[in-house]
Amino acid sequence: MNFKNVIKQIVAVTISAITIILCGCGSATKIDYESAETFEAALNNGENLEGKTVRFIALELRPQSAFGYNIFAGEHLNFVSTENPGVEAGDIVTVKVTKIQSILGSWIIRYEKISSKKNKSNSNYSNNQNSTGDNTKTVVENTVTIVDNTVSAADNRLSAILNIKNGECGLTIKNDSDVFLKNNDYFDVVESWYLKDSFTKSLVIKVLGKKNAVINSSAILYDGSDNVIDKESDKIVIAEGRYNYFEFTKFGNDEIVKADISASVEPITEKYKNEFDAVTMEKCNVSDGELFVTIKQAADKIDDSGRLKFLLYKNGNLVGTDTEYLYSTNLNGKGSSDVVSIWIYGIDCDTVEFIYQISPYIF
């Protein structure tokens, strides 16, 4: 036996193995967002995160939610799939995002799982395997009464206290002196709804614009004991003669009984007037729990951070909302069209109202 050749072969095999290991290390997955918090912040800024990778802690598992197998990763973050992803509450999960939707203030995120590993301190998380997770949207009859309203023209701020009581669905104005959300210079309230399920509670307020403006609003939400249970914000663009809506959503079991809302107003110039109808809805249909909406580009240029907002009705009552972003579509010029898919499993609707909104962050 030629020991010199054997040694050479062993060395060659060893070098090859080291090379393979090094190559494997070099192909490690790049993490675009190292936490749920940074990922959600980017979502709220209107960034296109489809195709990005994110690492998060699975706070709770909701295998029977209306959206599918739901990994709850934060107050507004729901990573959903049609199959059991094989993770436990408390695990550190890495995924590649494939589709993002905004439904009733909640981010519904479809993904491809990359990896998961145990978190040493996972005792505070919940494997909610027996939870029904029923997310079917229902309209709760209510009356929203506006009281103690003030408006200050000096700083362009509107404020009000809204009390939510059981009763007839709609908005009751106490008297003509009420200025928020009624009788201000920028919009009139058309209708309001209180939507709830086992997972979310939402106050939705539809308005008709009187002047072009950006409205940056926030709502402090209270329970029946007058305790603060959440604070939410919504920034929308109001266009003269066009509808839009405010939406304030909290998660959990606590009912919203009162909302203290304030808003700052920033008028916008006429240069954007022709962009308010830049995208139109052509038709829609429902199939297998998804709403398919055909949209069309009606302007030469559009901002890909614009928002496609939808109000879903059944027999005239609001049963759901949804927000999509232009960056997720394939509109590529005036006259081009595309189809937006909206996951509405468990939501029975017969009417869809479409609102195209310019991004409130371009001003």
| Count of beta carbons in the 10 Å neighbourhood of residue 274 | 11
CATH code of the domain containing 294:
2.60.40
Task: Tell me the CA distances in angstroms from 259 to 87, 159, 240, 343, one per residue in order.
Answer: 37, 11, 26, 29
- In this structure, the answer to whether residues 214 and 152 fall within a common structural domain is yes
pLDDT at 209 over 60: yes
Task: Tell me the CA distances in angstroms from 256 to 195, 224, 299, one per residue in order.
Answer: 10, 8, 41
Mean pLDDT of the chain, nearest integer: 74
Does 31 reside within a domain? Answer: no
DSSP conformational letter for 168: S
Task: Give me the number of domains the chain comprises.
Answer: 3
**Which of 249, 268, 287 represents a domain boundary (last residue)?**
268
- In this structure, the answer to whether residues 279 and 212 fall within a common structural domain is no
Does 28 reside within a domain? Answer: no
* Single-letter code of the amino acid located at 234: D
Domain that holds residue 142: 138-268
Beta bridge partners of 293: 284, 340
Does 15 reside within a domain? Answer: no
pLDDT tens by residue, 122-158? 444 545 443 333 333 333 333 333 222 222 223 344 5
Q: What is the rounded distance in angstroms from the CA atom of residue 70 to the CA atom of residue 78?
A: 6
Q: Alpha-carbon dihedral of residues 70, 112, 75, 60, nearest 10 degrees?
A: 50
Does 17 reside within a domain? Answer: no
- In this structure, the answer to whether residues 61 and 87 fall within a common structural domain is yes
Q: What is the rounded distance in angstroms from the CA atom of residue 35 to the CA atom of residue 56?
A: 5
Q: Give φ, ψ of 23 to 5 degrees.
A: -60, -40
Mean pLDDT, residues 300-310: 85
pLDDT at 338 over 90: yes
Mean pLDDT, residues 199-208: 85
CATH code of the domain containing 117:
2.40.50
Res. 325 pLDDT band, cuts 50 70 90: confident
Q: What is the rounded distance in angstroms from the CA atom of residue 254 to the CA atom of residue 199?
A: 10
Residues in the chain: 363
The model's pTM is: 0.61
Residue at token pair 């006429």: 270
**Which of 72, 100, 127 represents a domain boundary (last residue)?**
127
Residue scoring higher pLDDT (161 or 97): 97
What token pair was written down for 85?
A: 């992803």
- H or E segment to which residue 39 belongs: helix 36-44
Does 24 reside within a domain? Answer: no
Task: Tell me the CA distances in angstroms from 64 to 13, 38, 138, 143, one per residue in order.
Answer: 51, 27, 18, 32
Does 325 reside within a domain? Answer: yes
**Which pLDDT does position 95 carry in this prediction?**
94
**Which of 268, 302, 332 represents a domain boundary (last residue)?**
268
* Single-letter code of the amino acid located at 112: E
Res. 306 pLDDT band, cuts 50 70 90: confident
Q: What is the rounded distance in angstroms from the CA atom of residue 115 to the CA atom of residue 117?
A: 7
Does 175 reside within a domain? Answer: yes
- H or E segment to which residue 7 belongs: helix 3-26
DSSP conformational letter for 46: T
Does 132 reside within a domain? Answer: no
